[in-house]
Every structure is written in structure tokens, then in C-alpha cells.
Amino acid sequence: MIKVKHPLEYRNQEQETCFTKSAPEARRLHELMYSYSNAAARYDQEFGHIPPSEQDYEEWLQTLHPAIAKVMAAQGFAGCCLEHGFIRFMKKKREPVLEAYVRELMGEEEYQELKSLSGTA
């Protein structure tokens, strides 16, 4: 049974259907993967709307090559909020918080089991 449910009920139904149709030897991995992705979806639903701050922007500028940072600084904070590089920077910056959130929802034992089964431990 999938422990962490998706925030959208129709997704839960789709996942249960796929889960019951999967090969018995693959079910545990699918169950854990659904729990992980559902926890990530819950995180995005709860925290995904938090906009980056000017401090985030300043931190990002420090990671760029000086010539690129100069161009991005000229565009300003508002002008860079939709820049692919800045969005990627923000996702990476928030990744540890996401992982902690997922671990809490899944439980440490299931989280570690997924990491072991998926080869990412």
C-alpha cells in the first residue's frame, strides 16, 4: 500500500491501478517511489509558491562567472526571476529542505529502503 498519498485524489487512483498491475517483484519499489514522488508533490503544493528573495538573487550572482554576473546584475532581481539558471539554483538550494520533508512523511526506514532499492544510497 502506498503510504504517502498524492494531494490530488485522481492521481492516487491512477497510482493504485498501476501498482496493482505491476509485477509482484516490482511492487515494493513502485510503492516506495510513489510515496517519494507524492511527498515531493505535497512539498511543492505547500512550499513551491514561496518566491525567491533578493538575498537568494545575490547568492546566485556570486556563483556565476563575473561576466555573466554583470549581465544578470544589469537585468536586476525582477528581471532574473524567470531565468533558467536562477530557477535551477533555487531548486538546488531548496533540495535539502525537500529531502527532509520527504523523509519525515515517508519515515526514515522506508526512505532508506527506497534509497537502497534504487541504488542511490
112 part of a folded domain: yes
Contact 34, 118 (CB under 8 A): no
pLDDT in tens, 23-75: 999 999 999 999 999 999 999 898 878 899 999 999 999 999 999 999 999 99
Residue 60: how many other CB atoms lie within 10 Å: 22
pLDDT in tens, 92-114: 999 999 999 999 999 999 999 99
4 part of a folded domain: no
Asked if residue 16 has pLDDT above 80, the reply is yes
One-letter amino acid identity for 9?
A: E
2 part of a folded domain: no
Closest by CA position to 48, among listed 91, 84, 6: 91
Q: 19: domain range?
A: 9-118
Contact 40, 32 (CB under 8 A): no
The overall pTM is greater than 0.85: no
1 part of a folded domain: no
What percentage of the chain reaches a pLDDT higher than 90?
83
pLDDT of residue 121: 62
